[in-house]
Structure 1
Amino acid sequence: MSKNSLADLAIPGTTITVRVTPNARDNKVVMDNGVIKIGVTATPEDGKANAAVTVLLSKALGVPKSKLTLVQGHKSRDKIFRLD
Structure 2
Amino acid sequence: MADAPYRWQGDTLILNLQVQPRASRNEFAGVHGTRLRLRLTAPPVDGAANAALLRFLAGTFGVAKSKVSLLKGTAGRAKQVSIAAPRKLPPFISPP
Assess same fold via TM > 0.5.
yes
Q: What's the CA shift for 1:35?
A: 3.5
Partner of 1:66: 66
Partner of 1:51: 51
Structure 1 vs Structure 2 CA RMSD: 2.1
Aligned length: 75
Provide structure 2 residue ranges, at least 5 long, that are not aligned to the other structure: 1-7, 85-96
Provide structure 1 residue ranges, at least 5 long, that are not aligned to the other structure: 1-8
Q: Tell me how far apart the structure 2 counterparts of residues 36 and 12 of structure 1 sit (CA, whole Å).
A: 20
Q: What's the CA shift for 1:77?
A: 0.4
3-state SS in 2 of match to 1:70: strand
User: TM-score with structure 1 length normalisation?
Assistant: 0.74
Letter of the 1:13 partner, please give it: T
Identify the structure with the greater helix proportion: 1
Q: What's the CA shift for 1:83?
A: 2.4
How many percent identity over aligned positions?
31
Partner of 2:21: 22
Identify the structure with the greater strand proportion: 2
Q: Tell me how far apart the structure 2 counterparts of residues 20 and 59 of structure 1 sit (CA, whole Å).
A: 17
Q: Tell me how far apart the structure 2 counterparts of residues 47 and 21 of structure 1 sit (CA, whole Å).
A: 14
Letter of the 1:56 partner, please give it: F
Q: Tell me how far apart the structure 2 counterparts of residues 25 and 14 of structure 1 sit (CA, whole Å).
A: 27
Larger Rg: 2
Q: What's the CA shift for 1:12?
A: 3.3
